[in-house]
Amino acid sequence: MSIGVLALQGAFRRHVEAFDALGQPAVEVRRPRELDDVDALAIPGGESGTMSMLLERGGLFEPIAERLAAGMPALGTCAGMILLGTEVLDGRTDQRCFGAIDITTRRNGYGRQIDSFDTALDIEGLDSPFDASFIRAPIVERVGDDVTVLARVDDRPVLCTSGPVMVAAFHPELPTPDGTSDLRIHRRFLEEVL
Amino acid sequence: MTEPSTTGSFRVKRGLAEMLKGGVIMDVVTPDQAKVAEDAGAVAVMALERVPADIRVDGGVARMSDPEMIEGIKETVTIPVMAKARIGHFVEAQILQALGVDYVDESEVLTPADETHHIDKWAFDVPFVCGATNLGEALRRISEGACMIRSKGEAGTGNVVQAVRHLRSINGDLRKLTQADEAELFEWAKQLRAPLPLVQEIAESGTLPVPLFCAGGLATPADAALAMQLGADAVFVGSGIFKSDDPAPRAKAIVEATTHFRDADILAKVSRGLGAPMTGIGMDADGSASDGTEFEKRGW
């Protein structure tokens, strides 16, 4: 089993390191041929508009969309959540989404960088809170009937799954404030979603 | 149900720098230029009144930009907007934070406001990026609260040589530090004029505790890929884009070169037919720009 991490831009190294730490090797994906060798894809945090553009220019958008439609498991964080959703509000007009999970997101829904925040997040199925960072994070405005919401902030979904897809508005790939890693989201993706 | 709690933590501030990795941050002076930058795939824009190449020519005092101009750029793009404050000018930084700027660059390109002290960046919720020519300077800025370091290079010259020198110096010393024993680290801290605990931390980890971006003199897709291959996490391109003959395709090519920085086939493809780059300025053997202006010497 091989996991690819979309590496066009953003915090992709952190996802590679997280999977490595769990004993699951991960590779960076930048070109269409690199997609052929992976069984699942993680899409990191970064700028979703920039990634959408680079996906199209590099001929990666359609191949990924086809793989997702055929059931390829995927994990998306922040920008990755936006890209894997059905629709994005307040984005660039030419910004595209894969529609792999039926959610509508609003880009930078919590505000600008000074509104970015940390919070101790209660997640269904975890026995202690997850120390989560929301950085210019998207808000989930709508979830489809087949989407399971695992955590909320202010009543808004921030961690969702549907079939083989898991998306988070926050950044489980970033180290905790004391410099260690909390890999419970990545582990859950490997154990339950994959 | 969880409620939002802490804003302005070091993790949240550094986190935005993590999200910009592998991307290009472009200097823009108008909302129209900001649009060109975003359309090209920039991950952020740096809003300023004059690009460094013009500051070099015009001389005089260079200050924080007009808030109205920064607001105009914020309304035009969806990507993060950065702006520059003068070194030590914490009131300019307070104003930029109040404007909702996403990152403040305490920048040597502007005329310094304080010849001894940099801004206490821990006092702010908005994150800061600072320039550095060597590891000691980088660590001093980090100890003052900077969440991103950019190698200074020599802004506005279109000449990549100083950027290469500074990147090599920072990463070279990082590698040497990892080989030092405990006793040697005390001497390193003295030589670097940096806090011992921070020196011990990076000797152990082998990397800076914040992302290292590259700036100052990048003008071509190949320059951007060079910086990335030398270990930069992302690049700033200032005068190199909007002082070239045809900014939009060059901006786009530099974005693709930064993503595919190890892929020579793609680099060859995107480097074609971009028109003339900015003319640029030579460097003397001691590393000083031949027009006599040296931004890199500002900051201490």
Q: Is it the case that residue A88 has pLDDT exceeding 80? A: yes
Mean pLDDT of A20-43: 96
Q: CB contact, 8 Å: B265 with chain A?
A: no
Q: Which of B6, B16, B19 sits opposite A117 (nearest CB)?
A: B6
Q: Name the more confident of B281 and B106.
A: B106
Q: Which of A47, A151, A153 sits opposite B19 (nearest CB)?
A: A47
Scanning every residue of chain A, which has its alpha carbon at the shortest distance from the alpha carbon of B262? A30
Among A9-13, A110-114, A178-182, B60-64, which is the least confidently predicted range?
A178-182
**What pLDDT score does B300 carry?**
78
Mean pLDDT of B265-289: 82
Q: Do A46 and B21 make contact, defined as CB atoms within 8 angstroms?
A: yes
**What pLDDT score does B115 carry?**
93
User: Catalytic one among B13, B74, B84, B121?
Assistant: B84
Q: Do B259 and A9 make contact, defined as CB atoms within 8 angstroms?
A: yes
Q: Which amino acid is at B35?
A: K
Q: Count CB-CB contacts under 10 A for residue A25.
A: 11
Partners of residue B37 in chain A, C-beta under 8 Å: none
Q: Do A54 and B259 make contact, defined as CB atoms within 8 angstroms?
A: yes
**What pLDDT score does B47 carry?**
92
Scanning every residue of chain B, which has its alpha carbon at the shortest distance from the alpha carbon of A151? B1
pLDDT over 90, % of chain A: 93
Q: Is it the case that residue B4 has pLDDT exceeding 70? A: no
Alpha carbon of B264: minimum distance to chain A alpha carbons (Å) = 13
Confidence of residue A132 (pLDDT cuts 50, 70, 90): very high
Q: Complex ipTM, two decimals? A: 0.95
Q: Do B102 and A113 make contact, defined as CB atoms within 8 angstroms?
A: yes
Inter-chain CB pairs, A–B, below 8 Å: 149
State how far the alpha carbon of B219 is from the alpha carbons of A126, B47, B202, B207, B264, in Å.
Answer: 49, 18, 31, 27, 18
pTM: 0.94
**What pLDDT score does B3 carry?**
66
B287 touches B162 (CB < 8 A): yes
Q: Do B1 and A154 make contact, defined as CB atoms within 8 angstroms?
A: yes
Q: Do A31 and B263 make contact, defined as CB atoms within 8 angstroms?
A: yes
The count of C-alpha atoms lying within 13 angstroms of the C-alpha of B64, restricted to the half-sphere facing its C-beta, is 25
Q: Which of A57, A91, A118 sits opposite B256 (nearest CB)?
A: A57
Alpha carbon of B266: minimum distance to chain A alpha carbons (Å) = 10
**What is the SS3 assignment for A8?**
coil
- The residue behind tokens 């961690």 is A159
Alpha carbon of B220: minimum distance to chain A alpha carbons (Å) = 19
User: Which strand ranges, in their side-by-side order, compose the sheet holding A40-43?
Assistant: A26-29, A3-6, A40-43, A74-77, A165-168, A156-162, A148-153
Confidence of residue B9 (pLDDT cuts 50, 70, 90): very high
The count of C-alpha atoms lying within 13 angstroms of the C-alpha of B84, restricted to the half-sphere facing its C-beta, is 28
**What pLDDT score does A51 carry?**
97
What does the pLDDT look like over B134-185, one tens digit per residue? Answer: 999 999 999 999 999 999 998 889 999 999 999 999 999 999 999 999 999 9
What does the pLDDT look like over B224-253, one tens digit per residue? Answer: 999 999 999 999 998 899 989 999 999 999
- How far apart CA A13 and CA A16 sit, in angstroms, is 5
- How far apart CA A192 and CA A75 sit, in angstroms, is 12
Q: Which of B151, B13, B111, B29 is nearest to A112 (CA)?
A: B13
- How far apart CA A145 and CA A136 sit, in angstroms, is 27
Q: Is it the case that residue B1 has pLDDT exceeding 60? A: no
- Main-chain dihedrals φ then ψ at residue B24, nearest 5 degrees: -120, 130
What does the pLDDT look like over B278-287, one tens digit per residue? Answer: 877 776 666 6
- How far apart CA A118 and CA B9 sit, in angstroms, is 7
What does the pLDDT look like over A142-167, one tens digit per residue? Answer: 999 999 999 999 999 999 999 999 99
**What pLDDT score does A176 carry?**
83
Q: Annotate A52-74 with b (16+ C-beta within 10 A) or e (fewer).
A: bbbbebbebbebbbebbeeebbb
What does the pLDDT look like over B50-95, one tens digit per residue? Answer: 888 888 888 889 999 999 999 999 999 999 999 999 999 999 999 9
Scanning every residue of chain B, which has its alpha carbon at the shortest distance from the alpha carbon of A108? B78
Q: Which of B1, B18, B259 sits opposite A8 (nearest CB)?
A: B259
Tokens of A43: 């899409």
Partners of residue B5 in chain A, C-beta under 8 Å: 117-120
User: Which domains are delineated in chain A?
Assistant: 3-193 (3.40.50.880)
The count of C-alpha atoms lying within 13 angstroms of the C-alpha of B136, restricted to the half-sphere facing its C-beta, is 11
Q: Do B263 and A8 make contact, defined as CB atoms within 8 angstroms?
A: no
pLDDT over 90, % of chain B: 81
B13 flagged as catalytic = no
Give the residue numbers of A marked as catalytic. 78, 171, 173
Q: Do B4 and A153 make contact, defined as CB atoms within 8 angstroms?
A: yes
Confidence of residue A130 (pLDDT cuts 50, 70, 90): very high
Q: Is it the case that residue A96 has pLDDT exceeding 70? A: yes
Q: CB contact, 8 Å: B43 with chain A?
A: yes
Q: Do A122 and B1 make contact, defined as CB atoms within 8 angstroms?
A: yes
**What is the SS3 assignment for B196?**
helix
